[in-house]
Amino acid sequence: MKTLTKELWVDIPKRRQIVSIHRDVEQLVAESRVRDGIILVNAMHITASVFINDNESGLHEDYEKRLEKLAPHEPISQYRHNLTGEDNGDAHLKRQIMGREVVVAVSGGKLDFGPWEQIFYGEFDGMRRKRVLVKIIGE
Amino acid sequence: MKTLTKELWVDIPKRRQIVSIHRDVEQLVAESRVRDGIILVNAMHITASVFINDNESGLHEDYEKRLEKLAPHEPISQYRHNLTGEDNGDAHLKRQIMGREVVVAVSGGKLDFGPWEQIFYGEFDGMRRKRVLVKIIGE
Amino acid sequence: MKTLTKELWVDIPKRRQIVSIHRDVEQLVAESRVRDGIILVNAMHITASVFINDNESGLHEDYEKRLEKLAPHEPISQYRHNLTGEDNGDAHLKRQIMGREVVVAVSGGKLDFGPWEQIFYGEFDGMRRKRVLVKIIGE
């Protein structure tokens, strides 16, 4: 069994931001020399999501807008979590809706994807560098 | 390490539809001869979900109805994604709520499930054949 | 390849409850002697979730409150599933929003986590003992 474990760093200058990590993950699959196996890609932060969807900026705005309806940032007093001094109660909820991680098949040494699948990191409480964990196992 | 990689095709005549893929996945587990490992089952489309829940048609209607409240199809102009000429902005959101994939334990050569767990493909922008990826790894 | 398969039992005296299973999972990782691999932790019930987030009771109340907005328990007549004699239609929806399972990297014989990541079982139709499945594969 071959394995590879790597952390990716992602710059998140804004509070909420969706950033492609697709090429970085593809490079790690190549580096791992795993031909047949699976890859786990997860946010290491609990206000963030790794997800797979379309590389289309309008859609990313739709995610932002809809998540803000489902779990609004303001008023921050609506979240008990914010009594701890945080203002990111909404971000912990948004992350649950979008998911923490993805697991993807590796076949023939590549991400085994449908035609439009792309991997993104979505952060809902950013304004600093964040980490993504990549683990590949296979042979 | 043994692996098996297969694509399943699913007929989706309607725009939104939930279809059982449970037996197909069970057959692939048997075919793989993996006794102990894990199986990944994922939608290859970004407007669709593979999920595990009850095989009960009333519940599937409840999913349809509630998802339509959380991310309505109409008016299609509410989604920037639809400015690309698509009308499936809602489907990309519904898929994120329901999830892209499931990972299931394989034990004793079978899906290691609780008593009510069943695997479904949920499509939110159908009206054609769609693909599901199955990857089994173990020994 | 090494594997470990175990079921954890969790007491859920209330209808809706979030319970930490973090230490139990850590102990199983140690017991497995897997140094490098992945671990799957999933609810065996279809009204429940295994998820990763903050060990902060205010946040857990926020989850409860927000999920109740997104998929309210009452009136139970709003869910067709409840025509079967159940009153847990909402619980099947809440579970989809929170997710069924988590997959976590195991590195150096430990859960490979960011600083705040903790594993929880969230049940939305409890009042009895429930089961969680843990599967570890690696070497």
User: What pLDDT was estimated at residue B52?
Assistant: 98
Q: Which letter does DSSP use for residue A91 in this model?
A: H
If we measure between CA atoms, which residue out of B125, B129, B134 comes closest to residue B76?
B125
| Whether B131 and A113 lie within 8 Å, measured CB to CB | no
C103 SS3 class: strand
The pLDDT of B16-32, averaged and rounded, is 98
The string of pLDDT tens digits covering residues C25-35 is 999 999 999 99
pLDDT band of residue B27 (cuts 50, 70, 90) is: very high
The whole-angstrom distance between B84's CA and the closest CA on chain C is 28
State the DSSP code for C76.
Answer: G
How high does pLDDT run on average in chain B? 98
In the predicted model, what is the mean pLDDT of residues B25-46?
98
pLDDT digits (tens, 9 = 90+) for C38-81: 999 999 999 999 999 999 999 999 999 999 999 999 999 999 99
Angle formed by the axes of helices A89-98 and B89-98, to 10°? 100
Instruction: For residue C20, name the pLDDT band (cuts at 50, 70, 90).
Output: very high
Question: How many Å apart are CA C136 and CA C102, to the nearest integer?
Answer: 12
Specify whether the CB–CB gap between C111 and C8 falls below 8 A. no
Could you give phi then psi for residue C110, rounded to 5 degrees? -135, 160
What is the predicted pLDDT for the residue at A95?
98
* Residues in chain C whose Cβ is within 8 Å of chain B: 1, 3, 5, 38, 40, 42-46, 70-71, 79-84, 89, 92-93, 95-97, 99-101, 103, 131, 133, 135, 137
ipTM score of the complex? Answer: 0.97
Contact assessment for residue C8 and residue C119, using Cβ atoms and an 8 Å cutoff: no
- The first and second tokens of residue B124, run together, are 């939110």
Whether residue B93 and residue A61 make contact (CB cut-off 8 A), yes or no, is no
At C135 the three-state DSSP class reads strand
User: What does the buried/exposed string (b/e) look like for B57-69 if buried means 16 or more CB atoms within 10 Å of the residue's CB?
Assistant: eebbebbbebbee
Which region, left, alpha or beta, applies to residue A50 given φ > 0 means left and ψ of -120 to 50 means alpha? Answer: beta
Chain B: closest CA distance from residue C109 (Å): 18
C55 with A85: CB under 8 angstroms? no
Q: What is the mean pLDDT of residues A101-117?
A: 98
pLDDT tens for each residue of A11-33: 999 999 999 999 999 999 999 99
- Phi and psi at residue C121, in whole multiples of 5°? -105, 125
Residue B134 pLDDT class (50, 70, 90 cuts)? very high
Model confidence over B82-105: pLDDT tens digits?
999 999 999 999 999 999 999 999
Question: If pLDDT is split at 50, 70 and 90, which confidence band does B131 have?
Answer: very high
Residue B78 pLDDT level (bands cut at 50, 70, 90) = very high
Q: What is the 3-state secondary structure (H, E, C) of chain B?
A: CEEEEEEEEEEECCCCEEEECHHHHHHHHHHHCCCEEEEEEEECCCCEEEEEECCCHHHHHHHHHHHHHHCCCCCHHHCHHHHHCCCCHHHHHHHHHHCCEEEEEEECCEECCCCCCEEEEEECCCCEEEEEEEEEEEC
Distance (Å, whole) CA C137 – CA C32: 9
